[in-house]
């Protein structure tokens, strides 16, 4: 009897161990990202072939099973499964419909006499080059505003040659005497004039695509994501440096009208800085629907238009997609919130989805990066789309961080190579690595395009150097700028 009890106890213990192991590996499967490693010796030459291998796609297996929690639909649910996947015995992926798509960037304060703007042009070129290598077929549009104090009306020939070789279309924004970073942030929404495209993905000029981002167009165009797609930031509900919009006829004029009303209301009834933190751009945030960010905040702050950039691009973006268009997918870390309207025409969250489960709709030709860089926010997510681009904010820009006495040739290529080959799948890389990656990709691109690149030292910055415009929008600029009126005057 004693031996029988011992066997029962051992059998029970074995079951418990099996169950715990199953749960552990299931969770690892759900939330882990399988990424390749490279067996590369330190003697291997750091050339284009090596760089190409680093940009090769990691095989990404989308998650098919997600635990239902807080209204998040499990992908194993038959309704959701049929809605977001093309079911077949061999797990083939759905063929996407075709549409016209474009990436858009903007650079302001361009003054060839003092080319501090040029690294931003190069960063856009590198981003486009990487995407082209990964199979992107979308157009690329660069909006350029020459500095008011510059005698040049267009970019110099060297810059034009690089952009032309990459097929980047340049559109010039008229010069303005009251140029500022605030104005430039509102100029981002000129993408609403690109009505020849079904979707436009805007990226800041210091944001670098690390893979083919066309899958975001596909997900939106197929109806998996809404026609507008934004990412929550660290402390703001909308990241103004990376967002996707659907341009429609009349949208640009409507947005200018929203800006005009907000500017007039602020100057007529509010003291400096003429900004209403309750009404914002014309809509108070309901107490029962506070905005969400990557970093939790108190509910008091989450219902006020007082977050970073609320009076500029980030606030206007959130207002436009949430309260004006009333159709948006908002990504908060890993969860997509699909917003529509209720029976009364008020914003209502329709569903929550884990973003990773949506990637089953992405063709296998869509590539994903091999390793993660530090994203410089308190919440670091090594999952798409967060891991598919890097935003070089502040002084962390590769061309600025080198310093006065150091040029790109002093950055250890061996260190960069070693960090890529030995890093674990969830390990984040530091500044030296992405700095070397940026400069080496620039050289590789210049060689392949037969473009004569200026000396690297001429584009490296010291921390004391200033950007063409300041680093962030200022209330002083917003208080003295009549943006809508000046833009309307361009049309006359």
- Range of lowest pLDDT (16-20, 343-347, 388-392, 436-440): 16-20
The predicted-structure confidence for 80-126, as pLDDT tens digits, reads as follows 333 333 333 233 444 556 789 999 999 999 998 888 889 999 999 99
- Range of lowest pLDDT (58-72, 277-291, 316-330, 434-448): 58-72
Confidence of residue 410 (pLDDT cuts 50, 70, 90): very low
**Cβ–Cβ < 8 Å for 319, 236:** no
Q: Which residue's entry shows tokens 């977001």?
A: 84
The reported pTM is 0.76
The predicted-structure confidence for 175-197, as pLDDT tens digits, reads as follows 988 888 899 999 999 999 999 99
Confidence of residue 430 (pLDDT cuts 50, 70, 90): low
pLDDT for 22: 54
- Range of lowest pLDDT (16-25, 78-87, 269-278): 78-87
HEC profile for the chain? CHHHHHHHHHHHHHHHHHHHHHHHHHHHHHHCCCCCCCCCCCCCCCCHHHHHHHCCCCCCCCCCCCCCCCCECCCCCHHHHHHHCCCCCCCCCCCCCCCCEEEEEEEEEECCCCCCCHHHHHHHHHHHHHHHHCCCCCEEEEEEEECCCCCCCCCCHHHHHHHHHCCEEEEECCCCCCCCHHHHHHHHHHHHHCCCCCEEEEECCCEEECCCCHHHHHHHHCCCCCCCEEECCCCCCCCCCEEEECCCCCHHHHHHHHHHHHHHHHHHHCCCCCCCCCCCCCCCCCCCCCCCCCCCCCCCHHHCCCCCCCCCHHHHHHHHHHHHCCCEEEEECCEEEEEEECCCCCEEEEEEEEHHHHHHHCCCCCCCCCCEECCCCCCCCCCCCHHHEEECCHHHCHHHHCCCCCCHHHCCHHHHHHHHHHCCCCCEECHHHHHHHHHHHHHHHHHHHCCCCCCHHHHCCCCCCCCCCCCCCCHHHHHHCCHHHHHHHHHC
Q: Domain locations in the chain?
A: 101-491
CA-to-CA distance for 124 and 110, rounded, in angstroms?
A: 14
The predicted-structure confidence for 131-157, as pLDDT tens digits, reads as follows 999 899 999 999 999 998 899 999 999
User: Could you tell me what percent of the chain has a pLDDT over 90?
Assistant: 39
pLDDT for 130: 94
Confidence of residue 488 (pLDDT cuts 50, 70, 90): confident
> Average pLDDT of 52-76?
37
pLDDT for 247: 97
What would the CATH number be for the domain defined by 101-491? 3.90.550.10
Confidence of residue 282 (pLDDT cuts 50, 70, 90): very high
Closest listed residue to residue 417, CA positions, set 18, 32, 146, 54: 54
User: Could you tell me what percent of the chain has a pLDDT over 70?
Assistant: 66
Asked whether the predicted pLDDT for residue 53 surpasses 90, the reply is: no
Confidence of residue 386 (pLDDT cuts 50, 70, 90): confident
Higher per-residue pLDDT: 267 or 380: 267
Higher per-residue pLDDT: 373 or 338: 338
What mean pLDDT value characterizes the chain? 75
> Average pLDDT of 281-289?
92
Asked whether the predicted pLDDT for residue 9 surpasses 90, the reply is: no
Closest listed residue to residue 384, CA positions, set 396, 366, 397: 366
> Average pLDDT of 453-474?
56
The predicted-structure confidence for 218-246, as pLDDT tens digits, reads as follows 999 999 999 999 999 888 999 999 999 99
Higher per-residue pLDDT: 294 or 332: 332
Closest listed residue to residue 483, CA positions, set 107, 205, 181: 181
- Range of lowest pLDDT (252-261, 341-350, 408-417, 433-442): 408-417
């Amino acid at each position: 009897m004693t031996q029988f009890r011992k066997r029962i106890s051992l059998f029970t213990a074995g079951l418990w161990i099996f169950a715990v192991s199953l749960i552990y590996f299931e969770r690892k499967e759900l939330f882990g990202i399988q990424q390749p490693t490279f067996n590369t010796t330190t003697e291997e030459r750091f050339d284009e072939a090596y760089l190409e291998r680093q940009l090769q796609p990691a095989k990404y297996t989308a998650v098919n099973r997600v635990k239902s929690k807080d209204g998040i639909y499990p992908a194993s649910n038959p309704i959701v499964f049929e809605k977001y996947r093309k079911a077949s015995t061999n797990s083939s992926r759905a063929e996407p419909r075709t549409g016209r798509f474009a990436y858009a960037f903007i650079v302001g304060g361009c003054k060839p006499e003092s080319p501090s703007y040029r690294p931003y042009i190069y960063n856009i070129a590198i981003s486009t080059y990487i995407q082209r290598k990964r199979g992107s077929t979308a157009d690329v549009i660069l909006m350029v505003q020459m500095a008011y104090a510059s005698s040049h009306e267009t970019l110099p020939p060297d810059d034009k040659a690089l952009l032309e070789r990459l097929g980047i279309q340049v559109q010039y924004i008229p010069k303005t005497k009251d140029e500022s970073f605030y104005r430039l942030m509102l100029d981002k929404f000129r993408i609403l004039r690109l009505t020849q495209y079904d979707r436009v993905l805007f990226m800041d000029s210091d944001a670098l695509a690390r893979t083919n981002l066309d899958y975001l167009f596909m997900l939106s165009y197929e109806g998996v994501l809404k026609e507008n797609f934004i990412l929550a930031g660290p402390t703001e509900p909308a990241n103004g440096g990376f967002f996707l919009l659907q341009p429609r006829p009349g949208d640009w004029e409507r947005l200018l009208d929203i800006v005009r009303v907000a500017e007039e209301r602020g100057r007529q009834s509010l003291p400096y800085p003429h900004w209403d933190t309750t009404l914002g751009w014309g809509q108070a945030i309901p107490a029962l629907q506070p905005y969400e960010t990557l970093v939790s905040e108190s509910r008091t702050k989450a219902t006020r238009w007082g977050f970073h950039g609320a009076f500029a691009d980030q606030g206007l973006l959130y207002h436009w997609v949430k309260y004006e268009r009333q159709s948006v997918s908002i990504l908060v870390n890993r969860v997509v919130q699909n917003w529509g309207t209720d029976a009364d025409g008020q914003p209502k969250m329709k569903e929550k989805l884990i973003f990773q489960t949506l990637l089953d709709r992405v063709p296998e030709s869509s590539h994903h990066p091999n390793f993660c860089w530090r994203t410089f926010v308190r919440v670091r997510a090594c999952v798409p789309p967060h891991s598919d681009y890097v935003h070089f904010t502040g002084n962390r820009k590769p061309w600025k961080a080198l310093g006065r006495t150091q040029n790109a040739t002093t950055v250890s290529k061996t260190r960069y190579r070693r960090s890529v080959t030995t890093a674990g799948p969830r390990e984040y890389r530091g500044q030296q690595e992405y700095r070397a990656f940026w400069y080496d990709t620039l050289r590789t691109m210049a060689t392949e395009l037969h473009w004569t690149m200026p000396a690297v030292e001429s584009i490296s910055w010291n921390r004391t150097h200033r950007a063409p415009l300041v680093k962030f929008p200022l209330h002083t600029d917003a208080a003295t700028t009549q943006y809508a009126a000046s833009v309307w005057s361009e049309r006359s």
